[in-house]
């Protein structure tokens, strides 16, 4: 997956990036990345990233979709084999995802061997777990939010999110009229919106809260 989405570079895997002397934090060992080969072109890698972002936005990986962040990935639903025959109701369910979809920094692979009491699809079982891990990585890696990703095509069961407009510089009455359908919270004094959170063009849940700083 990493080679397919990073521009085509197949790296030699390693576990330890560096070792530090415990008292001075001096680096005593450091491992530099080593590219074994370039296996596909950057153009092909770009197409793969696009296709896998579409899987999460509009396909079987939609349970890994993360509002305001670009996620790509692929589900897996593998029926297990025993003595040369497929086993009834026994699957390995998986999802491999990466973030951000346009410039990946992290890849997460989740595989669950024969879960019971659930629908047997990787997108249903493994994708939500991968989403939780990716969301936890956002602050750890300092991944920036983005409004340029693919919009999710919602079905009737989904909680819907919408991009909120920019109301900074507008009067409070104007902002109320524009943000109809959202729960508004105010701070500060005055009648002009100085700042809003979430920022304009961010995706916010229907009926969600938008906070306005007035001045």
- Burial level of 153, CB count in 10 A (0-12/13-18/19+)? exposed
Domain with residue 200: its CATH number is 3.30.10.20
The boundaries of the domain holding residue 171 are: 161-214
The first and second tokens of residue 123, run together, are 């997108």
Domain with residue 74: its CATH number is 3.40.710.10
Query: How many CA atoms, within 13 angstroms, populate the side-chain half-sphere of residue 119?
Result: 6
* pLDDT tens per residue across span 126-184: 999 999 999 999 999 999 988 888 888 777 667 777 788 899 999 999 999 999 888 99
Count the domains in the chain: 2
Tell me the mean pLDDT in the region 13-17: 93
The mean pLDDT value of the chain amounts to 92
Tell me the mean pLDDT in the region 32-57: 96
Q: Does residue 106 contact residue 98 with C-beta atoms inside 8 Å? A: yes
For the entire predicted model, the pTM comes to 0.74
């Amino acid at each position: 997956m990493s080679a397919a989405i990073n521009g085509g570079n197949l790296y030699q895997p390693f576990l330890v990036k560096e070792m530090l002397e415990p008292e001075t934090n001096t680096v005593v060992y450091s491992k530099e990345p080593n590219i074994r080969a370039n296996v596909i072109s950057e153009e092909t890698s770009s197409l793969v990233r696009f296709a896998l972002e579409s899987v999460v936005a509009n396909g079987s990986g939609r349970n890994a979709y993360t509002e305001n962040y670009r996620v790509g990935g692929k589900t897996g639903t593998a029926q297990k084999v025993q003595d040369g025959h497929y086993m009834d109701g026994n699957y390995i369910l998986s999802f491999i995802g990466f973030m951000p979809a346009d410039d990946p920094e992290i890849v997460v692979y989740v595989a669950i061997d024969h879960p019971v009491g659930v629908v047997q699809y990787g997108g249903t079982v493994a994708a939500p777990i991968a989403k939780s891990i990716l969301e936890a990585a956002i602050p750890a890696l300092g991944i920036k939010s983005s409004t340029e990703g693919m919009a999710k095509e919602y079905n009737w069961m989904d909680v819907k999110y919408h991009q909120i407009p920019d109301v900074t510089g507008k009067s409070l009455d104007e902002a109320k009229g524009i943000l109809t359908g959202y729960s508004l919270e105010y701070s500060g004094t005055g009648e002009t919106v100085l700042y809003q959170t979430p920022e304009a063009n961010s995706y916010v849940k229907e009926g969600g809260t938008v906070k306005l700083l007035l001045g």
